[in-house]
Amino acid sequence: MSKIKFGDELETVMTREEFPLKKAKEVLKGETVAIIGYGVQGPAQAMNLRDNGIHVIIGQRYPSPSWGKAVKDGWKKGKNLFSIEEALEKGTIIAYLLSDAGQMQLWPDVKKYLTKGKALYFSHGFGITYKEQTKIIPPIDIDVILVAPKGAGRSVRTNFLDGSGINSSFAVFQDATGRARERVLAMGIAIGSGFLFETNFKNEVYSDLTGERGVLMGALAGIMEAQYETLRKKGHTPSEAFNETVEELTQSLIRMVAESGMDWMYANCSTTAQRGALDWKGKFKKAVMPVFKKLYQSVKEGKETARVLKANATKDYKEKLNKELKEMSELEIWRAGRMVRSLRPENLKK
């Protein structure tokens, strides 16, 4: 376990070299990991565990689209694909990977199978942190652990297949067996994490909800729409506005940031771009800082989770969601994006 110093702060980080897959397999020897939920994270984590030689089973409703997806992914009914109840009974580590609303709804059934010594595994701190809303309160004689990959399930799988892994946070909420820490680290390595950094359930969900609503998705989409619409109103063509707003960012600049950081990207752009970006960066920060403060407070107070749970509980949620996504898809910026992407060399060859 490494200690990384940032100023006066020390962070705990576990790497593959310090906790190799061989050790993870030894820790998980004799365990049965039951994946409950085969939606976003479930398939990737389940297949990575399987490929790494861990005994893993799937618990899923039949019939359902997710059951069909599991079958396509190679899971066999009666061998490693079971009803949710059978998987819960057989599992010693219950990987609770349903949606946050789904976890709340299924919890009364799940709790019955959490017998002494088992581990309840999450990839999000939502259910535990907002227990007043979700009513998810684990028995005191089980381990409660978390590994949260910093990416969608698709990235967890693709990064695993290319050997790079994906960064994940880990946390122990409850250690009833004395083995919770080694169990969570073993799970983190076995699902393909590149390295693991320590957190707690509350910090994980606060940062995650803020990030999704902020830079990662909400703020990014909003800023892109604002710049695109400004350029269009000033007479720029759709392709020009899209290229200067999205294409250059996603196909060039963000890759440079990922490689060596924002300062390195600035250093490798034109002097005109450098000066302008440095002069305007502070103005954008000043403009959005109040929004982020308001957002974080809303997350901390549980207002965001209450909104999510209420929305997901309505019978027509999917219908409303699809309508919202269709409206986004039909915005000119994303219609222009489809046109620009079709002109990429790799797509012209198809």
| 126 and 9 inside one domain | yes
Terminus-to-terminus CA distance in the chain, angstroms?
48
Q: Is 208 annotated as a binding residue?
A: yes
Q: What pTM does this model have?
A: 0.92
Q: Is 225 annotated as a binding residue?
A: no
| 176 and 42 inside one domain | yes
Residue 205 lies in a domain: no
Residues of the chain above pLDDT 70, percent? 100
**Res 3 pLDDT > 90:** no
Q: What is the DSSP string of 162-198?
A: TT--EEEEEEEEE-SSS-HHHHHHHHHHHTTEEEEEE
pLDDT tens, residue by residue, 156-196: 999 999 999 999 999 999 999 999 999 999 999 999 998 99
Section 84-91 average pLDDT: 98
Last residue of some domain: 170, 199, 228?
A: 199
Per annotation, catalytic residue among 124, 183, 213, 232? 124
Section 317-335 average pLDDT: 96
Q: Is 109 annotated as a binding residue?
A: no
Do the Cβ atoms of 175 and 143 come closer than 8 Å? yes
**Res 256 pLDDT > 80:** yes
| 84 and 184 inside one domain | yes
Q: Is 123 annotated as a binding residue?
A: no
Residue 4 has a pLDDT of: 80
**Res 5 pLDDT > 90:** no
Residue 206 lies in a domain: no
Section 124-136 average pLDDT: 96
What mean pLDDT is reported for the chain?
95
Residue 350 has a pLDDT of: 66
| 128 and 243 inside one domain | no
| 221 and 322 inside one domain | yes
**For the domain that residue 175 is a member of, what is the CATH number?**
3.40.50.720
| 176 and 216 inside one domain | no
pLDDT tens, residue by residue, 290-299: 999 999 999 9
The number of distinct structural domains making up the chain is 2
| 104 and 176 inside one domain | yes
Last residue of some domain: 172, 199, 226?
A: 199
Q: Cα–Cα distances in Å, from 242 out to 99, 104, 238, 336?
A: 33, 41, 6, 7
DSSP symbol at 77: B
| 160 and 220 inside one domain | no
Last residue of some domain: 173, 199, 225?
A: 199
Residue 74 has a pLDDT of: 97
| 189 and 216 inside one domain | no
Residue 333 lies in a domain: yes
Active-site residue flag, 124: yes
| 175 and 306 inside one domain | no
Section 194-209 average pLDDT: 96
| 276 and 236 inside one domain | yes
Q: Regarding beta strands 143-149 and 166-174, do their DSSP bridges make them parallel or antiparallel, or are they unpaired?
A: antiparallel
Which of helix, strand or coil describes residue 197?
strand
**For the domain that residue 342 is a member of, what is the CATH number?**
1.10.1040.10
| 182 and 259 inside one domain | no
Residue 9 has a pLDDT of: 86
* Domain boundaries, position 140: 2-199
